[in-house]
Amino acid sequence: MDEPVCAYLHDLPALQSHIKAMVDILPKKTCLFYAIKANPDPKILKTLLPYVDGFEVASLGELQRVRYVSEEIPVLFGGPGKKEYELEQALKKGVSYIHVESLLELRKLIGVAAQLDIDTNILLRVNLHERTLPVTNVTMAGKPSPFGMDEWIIEEALTILQDVENTHVHFRGFHFHSLSNNKHPDRHMEMILLYMEKVEEWKRTFNVEVSVINVGGGLGVSYDDKPSFDWERFITLFKKSGVLDRLGEAELFFEPGRYIVADFVYYAAEMIDLKSSMDQHFAILRGGTHHHRLPASWGQDHPFSIVSTDDWEWTYDFKRPGIHDDFISIVGELCSPKDRLHSRAKVETLRVGDIVVFEKSGAYSWTISHHDFLGHPHPVFLYKDEWKTKKEEG
């Protein structure tokens, strides 16, 4: 008997069109980096490679994934808790900028760079104290945070950098990443204007030159009926804001992840059982949150569609289970009540053997999931040309 359907489906041509459209309207003095933590699939990286200005990584493992597809593409290295061996490899593998998150990390980097006799450029990641930032699912700034350094630490960091014993680590600017999944371009623009004000203040206060301002990512994708982030509107606002004139000779970096890839990967899982309990219905899938953890992680219902398998061979001598015009919760195969992908969705028809396809599954889905819990098989990974071939083969 064939294994029930469980697969990630990647639409790389659509991803290519999307990234090209984003890059085509980028203003001068700005660069677009892809934060690969959203989805580090090598075929996704290769698809984006000709269009983005570089990749942002947050571990040695991610750096190795990037260098697997390109030895030359610029790389930004962020993330808290960088180990000395990671800093060493970052220097050896030609990282363009390191986002320094703490004074200890800065001191370690200065020592490693001197020992290797390799020069490197850094951006100081700053955790702003402002409480006027947009409200999103995940906020990293404006409150106590393990990410970046508080504003009052900047002076000490610059003093360390200016010490005569530091001959290899060069300050180039500041990095901000304050929130995740902001769907409001107007508020995002306000946040960037706040970043600009802060950088201009620090330039005056500390008498430093700034050649790079990294405003991070955080561009939002909607998982309900509300609109996602409007990139075109944001760029229009950005061009009208005066930021380009205020940059002078400096560059401004964007490093989104989710917004680039979320819409172009689908998670498909076959319904293998139908249960009813206390007047509620449950569709049990060959799959679940061990493959696609995002809805459980954020406590949300994930959007889906149903592919009816009318020609599916039902080999049993009893009626194929299904429901019609009713509410049902979509759950997985794990021994956990947390294994839920959508609660009480209204469906016209859903039967055992039908395929539930979860849209917007390209970011923070597979790689954040607990793949090996209970030892279930992993899903198949298919890419558009391969996907077509398998469908044609039946």
Q: Which pLDDT belongs to residue 389?
A: 44
Asked whether residue 34 is domain-assigned, the answer is no
In the chain, DSSP assigns E strands to 6-10, 30-35, 54-57, 75-77, 97-100, 120-127, 138-139, 149-150, 169-175, 179-180, 212-214, 251-254, 265-277, 280-285, 304-307, 322-331, 340-351, 355-358, 380-383
Q: Tell me how many domains the chain contains.
A: 2
In CATH, what number is assigned to the domain containing residue 283?
Answer: 2.40.37.10
Question: For 139-149, what is the mean pLDDT?
Answer: 65
Q: Residue 354 class from Cβ within 10 Å (0-12 exposed, 13-18 middle, 19+ buried)?
A: buried
**Residues labelled catalytic:** 335
Assigned token pair, 171: 């300050």
In 176-307, DSSP assigns E strands to 179-180, 212-214, 251-254, 265-277, 280-285, 304-307
Assigned token pair, 123: 């951006």
Asked whether residue 29 is domain-assigned, the answer is no
Q: Are residues 381 and 273 located together in one domain of the fold?
A: yes
Spatial contact of 270 and 355, defined as CB atoms under 8 Å apart = yes
- Cα separation, 152 vs 27, whole angstroms: 32
Q: Which pLDDT belongs to residue 326?
A: 95
- Token pair 């004074």 is found at 103
Q: Are residues 243 and 98 located together in one domain of the fold?
A: yes
CB atoms within 10 A of CB 278: 4
Assigned token pair, 90: 């970052």
Where is the domain boundary, 215, 238, 256?
Answer: 256
Q: Are residues 210 and 284 located together in one domain of the fold?
A: no
Spatial contact of 27 and 235, defined as CB atoms under 8 Å apart = yes
Q: Are residues 222 and 302 located together in one domain of the fold?
A: no
Q: Residue 333 class from Cβ within 10 Å (0-12 exposed, 13-18 middle, 19+ buried)?
A: buried
Spatial contact of 124 and 104, defined as CB atoms under 8 Å apart = no
Q: Which pLDDT belongs to residue 394?
A: 44
In CATH, what number is assigned to the domain containing residue 190?
Answer: 3.20.20.10
Asked whether residue 158 is domain-assigned, the answer is yes
Q: Are residues 223 and 269 located together in one domain of the fold?
A: no
Asked whether residue 340 is domain-assigned, the answer is yes
Where is the domain boundary, 256, 277, 292?
Answer: 256
Asked whether residue 353 is domain-assigned, the answer is yes
- Helix (H) / strand (E) containing 243: helix 243-247
Q: Are residues 278 and 135 located together in one domain of the fold?
A: no
Asked whether residue 37 is domain-assigned, the answer is no
Q: Are residues 251 and 275 located together in one domain of the fold?
A: no
Q: Residue 56 class from Cβ within 10 Å (0-12 exposed, 13-18 middle, 19+ buried)?
A: buried
Q: Are residues 352 and 279 located together in one domain of the fold?
A: yes
Q: Which pLDDT belongs to residue 9?
A: 97
What are the tens digits of pLDDT across the range 208-230?
999 999 999 999 999 999 999 99
- Cα separation, 236 vs 195, whole angstroms: 18
* 142 pLDDT above the threshold of 70: no
Helices 103-116 + 84-92 axis angle, to 10:
50
Q: For 121-159, give one letter per residue: b (16+ CB within 10 A) or e.
A: ebbbbbbbeeeebbebeebbbbeeeebbbeeebbeebbe
Q: Are residues 336 and 226 located together in one domain of the fold?
A: no
Provide the β-strand partners of residue 180.
Answer: 138
- Cα separation, 329 vs 345, whole angstroms: 6
Asked whether residue 141 is domain-assigned, the answer is yes
What are the tens digits of pLDDT across the range 319-360?
888 999 999 999 988 888 888 999 999 999 999 999 999 999
What are the tens digits of pLDDT across the range 34-89?
999 999 999 999 999 999 999 999 999 999 999 999 999 999 999 999 999 999 99
Q: Are residues 132 and 271 located together in one domain of the fold?
A: no
- Average model confidence (pLDDT) for the chain? 91
Q: Which pLDDT belongs to residue 148?
A: 83
* 388 pLDDT above the threshold of 60: no
Q: For 359-376, give one letter per residue: b (16+ CB within 10 A) or e.
A: bbbbbbbbeebeeeeeeb
Q: Are residues 157 and 80 located together in one domain of the fold?
A: yes
Asked whether residue 380 is domain-assigned, the answer is yes
Q: Which domain does 327 fall in, by range?
A: 263-393
Q: Are residues 131 and 203 located together in one domain of the fold?
A: yes
Where is the domain boundary, 256, 273, 298?
Answer: 256
